[in-house]
């Protein structure tokens, strides 16, 4: 099965630092103006998903959730979670005090990959 999300080594290192400090985590990728278009990292349960929101997979056992409308737009894309040295939009994400920002790079799945994608989980 083809994963819908992967992470760079730097992103994995930062996730592990945040897990040590905060415990279980979750990511949420929204499409609204307040959250921007960058993934936000929260303590697990620190953000309440809406009906229809989609979990596209995990990174280091951390669920990565996407807004339901954004998923419909990006459902044919593979996400790669990266991190840069910068202050992100809004400052709500757990990496902000470390002067880091998670970002998503994406590419379109090939027709062959589309036939073998990992299933997603939706909030009912």
In tens, the pLDDT along 36-63 reads 578 999 999 998 899 999 999 999 999 9
The Cα–Cα gap between 71 and 48 comes to 17
User: Which domains, from first to last, does the chain contain?
Assistant: 5-31+38-115 (2.60.300)
- Angle CA 43–16–77, to nearest 5: 80
- The continuous run of DSSP H or E covering 5 comes out as strand 5-7
pLDDT tens-place string over residues 75-110:
999 999 999 998 876 678 999 999 999 999 999 999
Q: Is the pTM of this model over 0.85?
A: yes
């Amino acid at each position: 099965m083809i994963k819908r999300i992967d992470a760079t080594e730097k992103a994995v290192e930062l996730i592990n630092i945040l897990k040590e400090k905060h415990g279980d985590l979750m990511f949420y990728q929204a499409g609204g103006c307040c959250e921007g278009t960058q993934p936000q990292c929260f303590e697990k349960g620190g953000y309440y998903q809406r009906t229809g929101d989609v979990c596209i997979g995990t990174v280091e056992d951390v669920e990565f959730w996407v807004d339901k409308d954004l998923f419909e737009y990006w459902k044919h894309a593979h996400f790669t979670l990266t991190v840069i040295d910068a202050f992100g939009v809004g400052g709500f994400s757990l990496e902000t005090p470390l002067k880091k920002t998670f970002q998503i790079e994406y590419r379109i799945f090939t027709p062959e990959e589309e036939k073998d994608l990992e299933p997603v989980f939706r909030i009912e």
